[in-house]
Amino acid sequence: MSGKSRNFVRIKDLEEKMSDEKLTKHDIAYMKMAHEWAKLSYCKRKKVGALIVKDRRIISDGYNGTPSGFENVCEDEHGLTKWHVLHAEANAISKVAASTQNSEGASLYVTLSPCKECSKLIYQAGIKKVFYAEAYNDMTGLEFLKKAGVKVIQIKNDDGQ
């Protein structure tokens, strides 16, 4: 079986497994795109991608990295993430804020669940649903979003993405 067919079967299995949570083929596609976007990050420790979608249109995207104009090095000499590295969600929210779009009622697809700081930004931006692939080690951000009435859904991909 070719890699392409095998991947299709896995995604199909994922769709069936998650059907109870009302995931659509678009939800799965947007999450796959967020994984592709994560590959653009220059960070070595963790590559994270995010998409903001409204009315089935991508209105913003982001990945973790340094601010514009800074050297694209995310980690210090000890391998720790530098304090000024922006998270993928923060980049996507900043990008939409600088555009003619707004994120009120939108959905966020992010490869790593939001930290508590990004969760505050997500809520303030009016995002109503957060889809994430991998859980961040501190669940405070997800707990805050749930308490604030934001729908939080994990899309776990079997093929490691």
For the annotated catalytic residues, the residue numbers are 89
Q: How far apart, in whole angstroms, are the C-alpha atoms of residue 135 and residue 115? A: 10
Q: How far apart, in whole angstroms, are the C-alpha atoms of residue 75 and residue 93? A: 23
Residue 56 has φ and ψ, to the nearest 5°, of 60, 25
Tokens of 103: 């994120």
Name 50's bridge partners: 62, 110
Q: How far apart, in whole angstroms, are the C-alpha atoms of residue 110 and residue 131? A: 6
